[in-house]
Amino acid sequence: MDHDPGLTALSALGGFFVLRTGRPPRGTPPTLAEAYAARDADVDREVYANPVIFRVRKVARSVRAPEPRVAASIAHLGLAARLWSVALGAAALYGRVPDLDPRLLRWDADASAPDDLWLTEVRALPAERIGEVVRDGHLLPLAAALRAQLPVSERLLWGNAGSALSGAVRQIDRWAAANGRTEVASRSRALAADLFALPGLAGTLDPVTHRRRSCCLYYRLPGGGLCGDCCFDRPPGARPPHGPRS
């Protein structure tokens, strides 16, 4: 990281790992600290009034979510995936994690997916602090902001966080295998194992199958199905397939 202050190597891992850095231009969106603290009810007035809820409503319109909690889950999963990808990718590649202090990290809630993040100052921290950086610094206040304003369960949100972390590990594994960087995959897996022992994340995934133990509600979208790590074998309410009787 010291030799790559712009964190440019992250982009090779995929779109969810990209992090813009440096001095932001004029009109840059608010920090995530401001987004987590916002409680303005008039969220349709402008994106900066309440970025978290604005994002949920934007997602709801985009995917035609039938109820607010479904859109909240999908919006939360997208941002959690971005945060884990950036932090774990950097820790695996550089052996250090960037300080993603919510006061330094800006988020454009009106951008397209994956979520647009901008780190205004790059400060390296020991990789072992990744749980403090993401879980404590972001997942806790993000969940609090969502649950204070929308009917979404805490268990679902932690399931999203676990699923997003597992997804980041899988993508790093694929990149490392394709590029002969086994040490990168090893660091990623070791850090993830420690993270999955933390409160909230512990028990979110089955340790053998890596399927989650809660549902993100994606199946409730028009035309939605089951995610690859879904806890269900078929969408709730769907009839089982008919097969030959024994």
Q: Which residues pair with 125 in a beta bridge?
A: 97
Q: Using an 8 Å Cβ cutoff, are 90 and 12 in contact?
A: no
* Measured distance CA(68)–CA(72) in Å, rounded: 6
Q: Using an 8 Å Cβ cutoff, are 127 and 134 in contact?
A: no
Q: Using an 8 Å Cβ cutoff, are 192 and 164 in contact?
A: no
Does 153 score more than 80 pLDDT? yes
Higher pLDDT, 51 or 226: 51
In this predicted structure, what is the pLDDT of residue 234? 76
Higher pLDDT, 71 or 24: 71
Q: What torsion, rounded to 10 degrees, do the Cα atoms 186, 187, 190, 193 define? A: -110
Determine which helix (DSSP H) or strand (DSSP E) holds 140, and give its type and residue range: helix 140-149
The mean pLDDT value for 66-72 works out to 95
**C-alpha distances in Å from residue 220, one per residue of 70, 144, 160, 199, 238:** 7, 24, 16, 28, 11
3-state SS class at 23: coil
Count of alpha carbons within 13 Å of 221, Cβ hemisphere only?
21
DSSP 80-107: HHHHHHHHHHHHHHHSEEE---TTTEEE
Cα angle 137-101-13, degrees, rounded to a multiple of 5: 90
Q: Using an 8 Å Cβ cutoff, are 164 and 177 in contact?
A: no
The mean pLDDT value for 89-102 works out to 97
Residue 154 pLDDT class (50, 70, 90 cuts): very high
Higher pLDDT, 122 or 233: 122
In this predicted structure, what is the pLDDT of residue 227? 83
Does 244 score more than 60 pLDDT? no
% of the chain surpassing 90 pLDDT: 73
In this predicted structure, what is the pLDDT of residue 2? 76
Say if residue 114 is preceded by a cis peptide, omega within 30 of 0: yes
Does 243 score more than 60 pLDDT? no
Residues 200-240 have pLDDT tens digits of 999 999 988 888 988 888 787 888 887 877 777 777 765 55
Query: How high does pLDDT run on average in the chain?
Result: 90
Pairing of strands 96-98, 20-21: unpaired
Residue 10 pLDDT class (50, 70, 90 cuts): very high
Higher pLDDT, 180 or 235: 180
Does 242 score more than 70 pLDDT? no
**Stretch among 32-46, 78-92, 148-162 having the lowest mean pLDDT:** 32-46
In this predicted structure, what is the pLDDT of residue 46? 63
Highest mean pLDDT among 40-54, 112-126, 208-222: 112-126
Cα angle 67-51-105, degrees, rounded to a multiple of 5: 130
The mean pLDDT value for 24-44 works out to 83
